[in-house]
Amino acid sequence: MNFSVRIDPVSGRRYMAVDEKGEHVLTYPLVNKSTAFSQHEREELDLHGLLPPGVSTIEHQLARVYGSFKLKRTAIEQYMHLTALQDRNETLFYRLLQEHIDEMMPVVYTPVVGEACQRYSHIYRRHRGLYISYEQRDRIPDLLRNYGRDRVAVIVVTDGERILGLGDQGVGGMGIPIGKLCLYTLCAGVSPHATLPITLDVGTDNEDRLADPLYMGLRHERIRGERYQEFVDAFVEAVSEVFPEAVLQWEDFHKGNAIRQLDRFRDKICSFNDDIQGTAGVVLAGIYSALRITGQPMRDQRVLFAGAGAAAHGIASLLVTALVEDGLSREEAVARIYTVDSRGLVTTDRPNLEDFKAAHARDAKELEGWELATPGQATLLEAVSNARPTMILGTSGTPGTFDEPVVRAMAEVNEQPIVFPLSNPTSQAECHPEDAIRWSGGRAILATGSPFEPVTWEGGVHRIGQGNNAFIFPGVGLGLTVARARKVTDEMFLDAAKALAAQVTEEDLAQRAVFPSLDRIRDCSLAVACATIRRAVDQGHADPDILNGLEETVRGAMWTPEYLPVRYEP
């Protein structure tokens, strides 16, 4: 069935035109209104008898589906219930999420989406998006055209190798692009008509998946090396051919591949990596807000990372840009960054050091004056005691990394230590916020990657700001699509971070929260989109005319979940 949104020439109101009737209308989730079809629409579309006779309002429908949601006993059951609703009626699905965003966003994305990816082959019900396997590498343009859309605004693609903190999930990684694009629509109003989730299936090294008789992906070890890169190259070439105006977002690739693809294509197509750049943008926004509490300038910060993968690389790179902007030379800015991985502080004398770790490795000679249990090797705790960082950022995916001695050491060298246990899902967070607040005597400024309940300490409430990438990437993507930007730059994420930080109110900061509440996320996305567009124009990657009435233009491009009249126009 084909459909399009049109304008009535008499009333000037929008409506949806479809070229089929009857059952087809009810099985297409972007058109289906179910019991909310009016009597006139039922007559025109041959729907009488296919629906109960009573006509429901969307409020009636919301009460019905929310009641069903509350009956589900487990989070994964709630996830499956919402997925089924999305497959039936996308407008009602997004309206429900909008009405209950605090409650349901953790269900449709982190942390519950992690379990959904692990169990994907067992809970699969209906197709959504595209699966492009290595065996189909010679016909990728045909597969993209099978999606049946003339225009796609945003594509999110994964190869399933590094799903959240859960590792290789193979084809089950499709839950991530689906979930990310859900947030594009929910948080920034990118139309679900114009989004495309894709999984590149090159096999899996997950023995549990390969041994599972229900696993739906390719049953062999991952394709790697030159063959893998040729496959990715063919995919990007096909996207450029079939959907030349689409923004391509890389998601949950292994750290080496994530950085490689970002660097390989950043000057060729309009693409970005949310794990690297989106994470960096949202973390930097949280730091800007935290500095409003401490009263310190950016240029005085010393940053210690626990975890030295792609996320840390992206955050560190953007932090260097922010430090330089605040008056440091690049060399001085780089010298403010320390990284610790599972082997301790990353130093330049380590053999076979990966490029992204080498970028912020410390000169081994620095350790000569440090108090260390093992000369030349520094643990996280020893790095805190000797480097005296103003903040520690957790990207390790290892729970318990920020233990009591580490947090207490941070509190000894800082009046208000900034402690961000950022790893997802909740089970992988470097510490629990309540512990960090207790160990620091209530002085730590916290932000997390996954949602946590507020913490009460000595009569005051600490609302734990969630450094959710959804505060950044949907707005950036919206801005790129509205402006038809030709390239994505790191400076766009710097401006996006500032725009998000500006949305944090004094009331938020009074509760020690460094991010806005989720119920304001559409306003945040609007601000981020406008900031992205202004920087795109400034750098010559978008046409200047877009700046005329910019905010109104962006707001007008944001899709809202409301029913339109449906007419039969073959």
Pairing of strands 337-341, 303-306: parallel
pLDDT over 70 percentage in the chain: 100
| Whether residue 293 sits in one domain with residue 381 | yes
Average pLDDT of span 284-304 = 98
* Long-range interactions of 61-68: CB distance < 8 A, separation 24+: 61/34, 61/35, 61/36, 61/92, 62/92, 62/95, 62/96, 62/99, 65/92, 65/96, 66/96, 66/99, 66/100
Last residue of a domain, which of 253, 269, 286?
253
Both 505 and 415 in a single domain?
no
On whether both 222 and 318 belong to a single domain, the answer is no
Q: What's the pLDDT at 356?
A: 81
pLDDT at position 252, please? 95
Q: Taking 90 as the threshold, does the pLDDT of residue 150 lie above it?
A: no
The pLDDT, as a whole number, for residue 164 is 86
**What is the count of structural domains for the chain?**
3
Higher pLDDT, 310 or 263: 263
Q: Residue 310 above 90 pLDDT?
A: no
The amino acid at residue 140 is I
Q: Is 543 helix (H, G, I), strand (E, B) or coil?
A: coil
Task: Pick the catalytic residue from 33, 79, 180, 255.
Answer: 180
483, 426: one domain:
no
Best CA proximity match to 505, nearest among 495, 493, 515: 515
Give residue 111's pLDDT. Answer: 87
Please report whether residue 391 resides in a domain: yes
Residue 484 and residue 399 share a domain: no
522: Cβ contacts below 8 Å, ≥ 6 apart: 187, 188, 189, 558
Could you tell me if 370 and 479 lie in one domain?
A: no
CA distance 272 to 247: 8
Rounded average pLDDT over 201-206: 98
Structural domain contains residue 3: no
Least confident span in 80-84, 201-205, 348-352:
348-352
Catalytic residue status for 124:
no
Q: Are residues 488 and 453 in the same domain?
A: no
70 catalytic? Reply is: no
Helix intervals (H) in 150-254:
175-188, 207-211, 225-242
Q: Do residues 248 and 331 both lie within one domain?
A: no
CA Rg value for the chain: 24
Q: Which of 467, 483, 516 is the last residue of a domain?
A: 467
Is residue 291 domain-resident? yes
- Give the per-residue pLDDT at 92: 98
pLDDT, tens digit, 9 for 90 and up, residues 485-500: 999 999 999 999 999 9
Rounded distance between C-alpha atoms, residue 320 and residue 307, angstroms: 17
**Predicted local distance difference test score (pLDDT) of residue 165:** 79
240 shares a domain with 153: yes
For residue 407, being part of any structural domain is answered with: yes
pLDDT digits (tens, 9 = 90+) for 84-112: 999 999 999 999 999 999 999 999 998 89
209 within some domain: yes
Last residue of a domain, one of 467, 502, 521: 467
Q: What is the distance between the alpha carbons of residues 185 and 477, in angstroms, rounded to a whole number?
A: 11
Q: What is the mean pLDDT of the chain?
A: 96
Q: Interior CA angle at 531 toward 152 and 321, to 5°?
A: 110
Query: In this predicted structure, what is the pLDDT of residue 545?
Result: 97
- Asked whether residue 211 is domain-assigned, the answer is yes
**371 shares its domain with 501:** no
Residue 450 confidence (pLDDT): 86
Residue 266 has pLDDT above 90, yes or no: yes
Secondary structure of the chain: what % helix, strand, coil (to 5)? Answer: 50, 15, 40
* Same domain membership, residue 328 and residue 191: no
* pLDDT above 90 (res 355): no
Conformation bin of residue 164: beta by default, left when phi > 0, alpha when psi is -120 to 50? left
Q: Which residue has the tokens 């589906």?
A: 65
Residue 205 lies in a domain: yes
Band the pLDDT of 354: cuts 50, 70, 90.
Answer: confident
359: domain CATH number is: 3.40.50.720
Type of residue found at 410: M
**42 lies in some domain:** no
pLDDT given at position 100: 97
> Residues 94, 109, 228, 563: which is the catalytic one?
109
Whether 380 and 247 share a structural domain: no
**What is the domain extent for residue 492?**
473-551
Instruction: Note the pLDDT tens digit of each residue in 513-526.
Output: 999 999 999 999 99
Is there a cis peptide before residue 516, judged by omega within 30 degrees of 0? no
Write out pLDDT tens, residues 412-457: 999 999 999 999 888 899 999 999 999 999 999 999 998 899 999 9
Please report, for the domain that includes residue 123, its CATH number: 3.40.50.10380
Indicate if the pLDDT at residue 474 is higher than 90: yes
- Phi and psi at residue 48, to the nearest 5°: -60, 135
Q: How confident is the model at residue 121 (pLDDT cuts 50, 70, 90)?
A: very high
Inform me whether the pLDDT recorded for 291 exceeds 90. yes
